[in-house]
Amino acid sequence: MTHPTENPAEPARKRRTGLVAGIAAGVAVVAGGVAVAFLLTGTASGDDQAEATRVAEGFAAVQQKQLRTGQNQFQDAQRYMCESMRESQGRHAEDNPTVTSSADGTVTASDVQVSGDTGTFKTNRSAVPNANGTLISGSIAYQLTKENGAWKVCGIARLSR
């Protein structure tokens, strides 16, 4: 004869496997969405700012070299230019292989700003000769744009003295 046990069997614990699997799947979906968004939008904003600054400084350095040598530096400058600017400046370089030089002149880049796929920067010029040979100072604001994923100088935004 069997005797009933004094402690009845404890009810089976509910398994949380489904809940854990659901949470893991949700985390994976969110992480995948973030990764896809990053790939579709390109580099992070800080990277865009750094790259645009590098392009602006490189472009200004080529202009500084042109100022010091008196030789048109289109071959060096075109790597920083968008396609339409390369075309127009290439024609200008063919017509003007030399430019007025200045040993004391300076050209520097500043105020680089980006927003989405566009931006601006200034080149600050000091003691730069104009077409008449008069030394002038001032700044030129240039437009930046992303072309094929890379920042490029794409025209003059405005002149100031």
Look at residue 42 in the predicted model and tell me its pLDDT.
47
Q: Structural domains in the chain? A: 46-156 (3.10.450.50)
23 compared with 36, residue with greater pLDDT = 23
d(CA 94, CA 116): 34
Q: What is the pTM of this model?
A: 0.67
- The tens digit of pLDDT for each residue in 74-124 reads 889 999 999 999 988 887 777 777 777 888 899 999 999 999 999 999 999
135-147 and 118-129 beta bridge pairing = antiparallel
pLDDT at 41 over 80: no
- Supply the pLDDT for residue 34: 41
- CA 91, distance to chain mean position in Å, is 27
Count Cβ atoms within 10 A of the Cβ of residue 63 and give its class: 0-12 exposed, 13-18 middle, 19 or more buried: buried
- Number of Cβ within 10 Å of residue 136's Cβ equals 13
* Rounded Cα distance, 123 and 37, in Å: 34
Tell me the average pLDDT across 127-145.
89
